[in-house]
A and B are shown apart, each in its own frame.
Chain A
Amino acid sequence: MTDELRVAVERRGTTGAVLYTKGYINNVGGEEIANRAYELMEEGVRSLLLNLRETKIVNSIGISILIEIIEKMIDKGGRIGFCSLTPVIHKTFQIMGLANYASIYTDEETAQKEMGL
């Protein structure tokens, strides 16, 4: 019924990565992102950009998992950024306070410059 979430990762140097999502970020999608993000953290990634260009729908359970990823990255001294959000996803992130703990960029090029990826 839904667009099952697909995740792709591109490494940027030894401590950076961009994680691309495609589809619905619900509980299952959020866990998929978390698994990939935690693998990257274990491999030493400390600057992680999530490009949500091909995600049009999120729900609060999925976002709560994204918040857990942010917490874990902050604990490790790293940072997480998001880019290419739809206006409604951006608004939803702001409602849930996610924007207070992670940087949000309009596009990947801007994010890469700001995050040094």
Chain B
Amino acid sequence: MTATAERQMELTLPMVPDIEIAAARAAGNLARELGMPSESIDEMAHAIIEACINAREHSGSADQRIYVRIRGTSLGEGNSRIDIWITDRGRGFDISEARTRRQKLGAAHKRGWGLQIIEAHMDEVGISTRPDGTTIHMVKHGKRS
């Protein structure tokens, strides 16, 4: 399938409370232009929110910025995809430890669900993490409803 149209945007966001909503809204607007179904847009929004919260809460980045890149691609025949990259310049994290973390009722610590939520809501997720930063690349596919 050949890509027929592509739009991109880049945001640099301060790590302040609720800034994740700005990223989710930007991606949502692009997805709506591509005709993505509302439920897909909602899923994508929740994944973006968790990725931004992880960056804000856990990255320990010195510059206190979240770098968001969003690319929407119309693939023809009503099909589209959104690629989102959420990047921080923090200290990185242990992916396998984060993936196996499962809090249960009664556990003292109930947080750390972000990655599970991201992976459940998105079609593809790739993580690149190093001691100088982390990028989460998420993909959502859609078909015009």
Stretch of B59-67, B70-78, B87-95, B102-110 contacting A (4+ beta carbons < 8 Å): B102-110
**Shortest beta-carbon distance from B58 to chain A in Å:** 12
Number of interface residues of A (CB under 8 A): 28
| Contact in complex: B18, A2 (CB < 8 Å) | yes
Residues of A within 8 A of B49 (CB): 57, 59
Q: Are A87 and B42 also in contact (CB < 8 A) when A1-B18, A100-B105 are? A: yes
| Contact in complex: A60, B111 (CB < 8 Å) | yes
Q: Is the interface of B mostly helix, strand, loop or mixed?
A: helix
Q: Are A24 and B21 also in contact (CB < 8 A) when A60-B53, A101-B105 are? A: yes
Q: Which residues of B5-52 are within 8 A (CB) of A? A: 17-22, 24, 39, 42-43, 45-46, 49-50
Stretch of A13-21, A31-39, A45-53, A88-96 contacting B (4+ beta carbons < 8 Å): A88-96
| Contact in complex: B117, A95 (CB < 8 Å) | yes
| Contact in complex: A60, B117 (CB < 8 Å) | yes
Residues of A within 8 A of B105 (CB): 67, 70-71, 74, 97, 100-101
Q: Provide the bound-state CA to CA distance between A60 and B52, in Å.
A: 12
| Contact in complex: A96, B113 (CB < 8 Å) | yes
B116 within 8 Å of A (CB atoms): yes
| Contact in complex: B103, A95 (CB < 8 Å) | no
Q: Provide the bound-state CA to CA distance between A6 and B74, in Å.
A: 38
**Shortest beta-carbon distance from A60 to chain B in Å:** 4
Residues of B within 8 A of A56 (CB): 42
A61 within 8 Å of B (CB atoms): yes
Give me 4 other A-B pairs in contact (C-beta within 8 A), A60-B53, A60-B112, A92-B120 excluded: A91-B120, A92-B121, A96-B103, A97-B105
| Pairs of residues from A and B, 3 with the lowest C-beta to C-beta distance, nearest first | A64-B110, A88-B42, A60-B113
By a beta-carbon cutoff of 8 Å, the part of chain A in contact with chain B is: 1-2, 24, 26, 28, 56-61, 63-64, 67-68, 70-71, 74, 86-88, 91-92, 95-97, 100-101
